[in-house]
Structures are given as structure tokens and as C-alpha cells.
Amino acid sequence: MKAAVVVDTNVPIVANGAANHATPDCVLRCVDRLVEVRKKQRVLLDDGLHILSEYMKHLSLSGQPGMGDFFMKWVWLNQANPRNCLRVQITTQEGSDDFKEFPQDPDLENFDRADRKFVAVALISGLDPPILNATDTDWWDYREPLRRNGVTVDFICPELMVPRD
């Protein structure tokens, strides 16, 4: 069975060449990583379509013109194919935009709410998947509390993770 992975939206955005702060090398690594995901891994999604909806806001379902768009089309076409994609159930907390599956750790209190769905999916899946990140430094800033809570982040472009002072 293929290993599972969670793909933050910034990875296909960078693969499209749409992140002006990403280096050409970072773009190529994101393209290569998305090719590897399609061939060798299963993409984890949530049953409430939170991840897929975010992909659709930033990527084209036509599959063009970039490799990130190609990934979006592939996910769209394979979302119900358990060999390529797997949906897990995450629970929205009543009256908020947070998820019950997100760790209740004070060190994660200020973690980006828009990225909490990825963490919730990774944790509830029980598959110990890495979360792929290209350029979002929030993942770097919170890597230690995330790791303590069982979340692994795969930094595709670690040279772009500049520590905050």
C-alpha cells in the first residue's frame, strides 16, 4: 500500500511558479515532489472538503497552465480513488473555524488557523503522514510543538525558512 501524505496548498502554488519568493530550484523541487506524490503516495483529504476547497481557490481544475494545476486536476479526478486519495473525517468545533482533532497545546495557540485542517487530517488519519510545505514559514516556526504532538513536516525548500528574531 502507498504511504500517505498531506500537501499544503503552498506546494502546488510554488510548482505553478506563482510564489515570487520561491527560488527556481524550490519550484523544481516542488514539481518533482508532486510527481512523486502522484506516483508513489496517497493524498490525504478531509470529508468536509476543507482542503479541496482551498486547492480550488488557488489552483485550476483545468490542469493548466502549471504543474500545480496539473496536481489539482489529478486530485480532483482521483479524490474518490482510495489507491490515490484517502478522505478522513475531521470535526469543526462549534462556533469556530478550528477542528477538534487539532492539538490543544498552548504552544500551538497562535498557529495559523487556515493550516489547522492539514494538521487535523494528518493526526486523525492514524497513518503518520508528513505534511509537505514549500514556503510557509509558520510551519517552521511551530515545527517543535507540532513534532511533540505527533506531526511531521517535510520542508521541501528549507533554505527559505528564515528564523524569526
Residue 127 domain flag: yes
Residue 143 domain flag: yes
Residue 31 domain flag: yes
State the residue range of the domain holding 73: 3-160
pLDDT tens, position by position, for the chain (165 residues)? 799 999 999 999 999 998 888 999 999 999 999 999 999 999 999 999 999 999 999 999 998 999 999 999 999 999 999 999 999 999 998 877 789 999 999 999 999 999 999 999 999 999 999 999 999 999 999 999 999 999 999 999 999 997 644
Residue 165 domain flag: no
What domain count does the chain have?
A: 1
Q: How far apart are CA 17 and CA 107, in angstroms?
A: 33
Q: How far apart are CA 59 and CA 56, in angstroms?
A: 5
Concatenated DSSP letters of the chain: -PEEEEE-THHHHHHTT--TTS-HHHHHHHHHHHHHHHHHEEEEEETT-HHHHHHHHHS-TT--SSHHHHHHHHHHHHTT-TTTEEEE---BPTTSS-BTTS---GGGTTS-GGGHHHHHHHHHHSS-PEEEESS-HHHHHTHHHHHHTT-EEEES-GGG-PPP-
Position 109 scores a pLDDT of 95
Which triple of cell numbers denotes residue 89?
A: 473525517
CATH number at residue 139: 3.40.50
